[in-house]
Chains A and B, each alone.
Chain A
Amino acid sequence: MNACARQLPTSTLLDYWFGEAVADEAAVEEHLMACRFCSSRLRALVQLGDGIRQATRGGLVHAVLSPAFVEKLRADGLRLREYRLQPGGSVACTITPEDDLVVSRLQAALRDVQRLDMIFEDLTTGTSLRLTDLAFDPAQEELVVVPNAAALRALQQSTHRMRLLAVHGESERELGDYTFHHSRS
């Protein structure tokens, strides 16, 4: 079967998959059951989703996540090593073979922050990277960062700093810096 003449939009496929308000869910299901092309498109999206889940569990993803999501990871049996830092704080950190993921909990006054950026500095090599427009919940007063565990395992002894910046229009204000002295275990 070639491409479908009445292709369901990708947004409809996603809304359907996540059980959200699809205008006519019954019609979408009729179409998916009859249309090999669209059902294959949905299957490809679902397979991507399965891959995202596996990459997350495998520590292959760097992401800002919610505290509740981290609890879900723990409930699923993942072994988490956590570091909680106050603004200006530092910590000696590592990742061991027993750890699945490392979680950095950066305490910050996020209330009233409109846009949040992070500058990630490798103080050992002198390089830096700016991550823009992070997702965060202002009510939480902390930012939960889960770095790529595979990359952490490959790190030599080194020092890294995360700086959180509240951005408003052309101006920005530093909310805190957090220093990680990493050593291999």
Chain B
Amino acid sequence: MGYPAAVYAPSLPDDSDLARRILAAGERRDADAEQELCRRFAPRIRLYGRRHLRSDAAASDLVQDVLLLTLQKLRDGTLREPDKIASFILGTCRHTVIDGRRGGSRRERILDTFSASLPALTAEAEDAPDSARLAHCLERLAERERSVLVMSFYDERAAEEVGTALGLSSGNVRVIRHRGIEKLRLCMNGPLLHGVEPG
């Protein structure tokens, strides 16, 4: 599995160009720019959400809330610095997550206040790894690399915790984890040397 092909494709407008177009259109709406902005930022917001909320469902809610608020701020002209669109979105992510932890009602307020429809989100292609190939590549790792990767990624556990369970220092776990994931990535991207056992 490589990085999404879209990353390598030339993209004409940058993120701030899109924000500028949405700002300029205001309530007339530039649907194409809105769609493209959402398509680009949804995966980044989802990553932020998963990192901080450790839940796919909560991350999906965060994507919706943050994009709704961002589009509304651009449409009504209150987001005046389109060059800082990424910073604005990150700040909105942070506030939304903090508010959620405090049991706040930000999400309800956003949904109640902005009835504006969110463009249908067409996320950048999600290249789910081929399970048979991944199993083959995991088998090719060194034993302790496999132990560390499974115990780290299964439940997204930090190096210190994994190290305590396996009699390793956290620094050692981080080195093994890095080496293992790089080997796995190369194996997933490279030619198969021994074929994949039929599932």
| Residues in chain A within 8 A of chain B (CB atoms) | 1-2, 10-11, 14-20, 29-30, 32-34, 36-37, 39-56, 58, 60-66, 68-69, 72, 131-139, 148, 150
Contacts and interface: CB of A to CB of B under 8 A. Distances in A.
Given A42-B47, A49-B156, A52-B153, A133 B167 contact: no
A2 B43 CA distance: 17
Interface of B: 1-4, 6-8, 10-11, 14-15, 40-41, 43-44, 47-48, 50-51, 86-87, 89-90, 93, 124, 126-129, 131, 134-135, 138-139, 142-144, 146-160, 164-168, 170, 174, 177-178, 181-182, 184-185, 188, 199
A51 B156 contact: no
A20 B174 contact: yes
B4 A33 contact: no
A72 B155 CA distance: 9
- The majority secondary structure among interface residues of chain A is helix
A132 B143 contact: yes
Contacts of B2: 44
A63 B47 contact: no
Nearest to B133: A51
Contacts of A39: 43-44, 47
A135 B147 contact: yes
B138 A55 contact: yes
A42 B185 CA distance: 12
A136 B143 CA distance: 11
